[in-house]
Structure 1
């Protein structure tokens, strides 16, 4: 894909500057965060042999023109922050999409596969580095990354430091945590509320609202987080870290990292065969189910931010799709066709929401798009139930995180944290590059094949 977005009007005056998101210090995140977030974990060598060879500038530009207004990243995702920052710094983006028109979400605390540092010194250094990499004066949301790998006291300390930065320096606007085990996320949300008197703005969960595992929607998930005052709960990794694919879990340069057992993988293969027999692909049903169902299931901890329209250069407001809160999801792509097809799926999902018929007609789309979307939703629901019958006892199963025997190797790799504590709250250049980091499960995107080409059969169909 070229580094200029598709269907861009030729005349400069045809590219009006996009409006800013209304924000004041007391604005709740749930009133402005978009319900679809572009995850940049794909801008990493775990899913792509050479992330620098990806057209990240074109992907980010195209995402913006299709209405996406939020990008999730992390220092742990290899070069992702730098690549995203460079894409957002192009003249086209700076002219057409001012910083105030989109959200940047990043993380602190995870340095490498087995190295974590939640100290206030490292939190400050990490925020400073993210600001520099992303070419911005502020970060909309900063999560403590994969909180189950450190102690509750460390998480509490990191949250307090992020809030200090928020209040004193204003370079952070909202503070949250991310991780996998729902009991840990619930414990920490309750602890932080109890100890500080202030709830978390966001808790990002991954692989907990999928075809295989829907526990995030239940009392141990958003029920408990909502009771702890958490404002927004984004759902990431709708394919369960790549488990819910016809081809099986992704195996990149670092080998097979997925924690699913041989038995669970076998059950998923059987479920994939079930989908094949009904003319569908497992990953298509998984993606559509997660995105579509979470809009409603996650609404209590969702947002009224404007959704991406899915149509180039067409802005859509929350009011146009019903005006209610919508559950927030994180997607990830590596190449232009994946993005374009994902946005077609997203557009079809929006057509099925309240007001979808009227919105379609006003936008000049097919007047029966609403009806088609609802029929597709029913078909996906039927196949979802069939998949879960095949999965049997593996439905709502969760794997251990961290794995048994995990030991935090902080300070072993390069003495990076000592470097920060010794001086100026700014890491050395050695901290800029982490040796072969594993892709974090949090915000894990739909995995893709390495190399420059992906066969159509492995892409998301146009539906």
Structure 2
């Protein structure tokens, strides 16, 4: 078991004893608004899965989670559908060091219900209840901060409504859930369902998460069909997940894990991204570097109308910042995933630079002992990234703004037999854990000894 985190070169202060709790309260059914406490940068653990990695058990998930916490990240997104992700995340959060230094109230856990496998969905009240119980066990926690209905486009609106009603019952009666929302890919479906749920229940969703819809390649989430429609439906927070389009916007192409090539992007779209990547190379940049900074930085502003004032990750080890330290404005919320320490460190460097460019960043940098011109550098870097992003969009041509079908035309939910009224539902008690491939434990986090390795900045950035 881990007893100390992996320290990165930016660590300059002694280790604190305990981190402060996020200011959540609930009285007479009135909960703290999610938009006042949700951290604007969330660690997504879809990468703790065989889709993105050949063996997620070989990843140093304990070290990754611990280092993320020490660098200010205070929210983790997972799902039962992500193979062993819940278990690996739960084990990492249960180490003695994390439990002592980062008490459970000091961070968010977000998970999902409804999606069992690639072609099996069960949104019934009984399945939702079982899923919540299992997630609590895997994550070693007594409550879940946020629960989404996972990939809502694959089921009927009636099924989504049944799941939302059950999640809210669990929230109000059992108290093991705090906030409820939906997630998925097609923005039109998300908007329609958010409106339906508000209309049918009289209560808007706390949040909606869409993935791969605010990237270099597709920015639909920022438009009238996306965040503006969701805001009109009363949605509190709109989260942008997978700023690299599930790994599409990378020089080396989409990630291929143990489950093979799962990415829905067509050959022609991939070729267009390759041309855009060559364009970035010609200007001394990697497309994933431009894509990550562009999506995170632009969404901070574009997503602010349904954003949050939660404390951001500082990106610096053992430095905790408040929203007021970076200007005090609402910030759009993003979810990123990483697979190794190099990806995490570079993501934190990008995030720190983005924060330096916000209102008040110049003063904050000086107070924190960073370079007094960090604010100026961030603003200039932002301009350069914006120019290249516009160039990429020109090269993509008709593929800019394109969204693939989800689900495909011939997709069938195998959890239902017959397809007619009264059809028998196949109850899935638990996922087939044999599909997890490796019944091993995540490597332990160990303290760094001797000199800290200078990381190669040319290694790949996050997959998600």
TM-score with structure 2 setting the length: 0.89
Offset, 1:243: 1.1
After TM superposition, the structure 1 = structure 2 runs for residues 53-452 of structure 1, keeping only pairs within 5 Å, are: 53-410=58-415, 427=429, 430-431=430-431, 433=433, 435=435
**Separation in 1, partners of 2:303, 2:247:** 22
What's the CA shift string for 1:389-435, capped at 9, x where partnerless? 101111111110001110001168xxx97567xxxxxx4xx536273
In structure 2, runs of 5+ residues without a counterpart are 418-423, 438-454
Q: Which residue number in structure 2 is paired with residue 447 of structure 1?
A: none
Secondary structure class of the residue paired with 1:457: coil
Offset, 1:323: 0.5
**Separation in 1, partners of 2:143, 2:273:** 42
What's the CA shift string for 1:20-60, capped at 9, x where partnerless? 11111221100000000000111112222221111111111
Whether the aligned pair in 1 keeps the contact of 2:362 and 2:373 (CA below 8 Å) is yes
- Which runs of 4 or more aligned residues in structure 1 lie more than 6 Å from their structure 2 counterparts after TM superposition? none
Offset, 1:4: 3.2
Offset, 1:315: 0.4
Count of residue pairs brought into register by the alignment: 432
RMSD: 2.2
Within the candidate set 28, 37, 44, 1:32 is matched to 37
Offset, 1:455: 7.6
Offset, 1:258: 1.5
**Separation in 2, partners of 1:136, 1:298:** 30
Secondary structure class of the residue paired with 1:249: coil
**Separation in 1, partners of 2:193, 2:372:** 47
Secondary structure class of the residue paired with 1:204: strand
Offset, 1:122: 0.3
Question: Structure 1 pair 400/14, CA: closer, same or farther in 2 (3 Å)?
Answer: closer
**Separation in 2, partners of 1:96, 1:226:** 37
In structure 1, runs of 5+ residues without a counterpart are 421-426, 438-453
Question: Structure 1 pair 261/13, CA: closer, same or farther in 2 (3 Å)?
Answer: closer
Whether the aligned pair in 2 keeps the contact of 1:174 and 1:201 (CA below 8 Å) is yes
Q: Which residue number in structure 1 is paired with residue 20 of structure 2?
A: 19
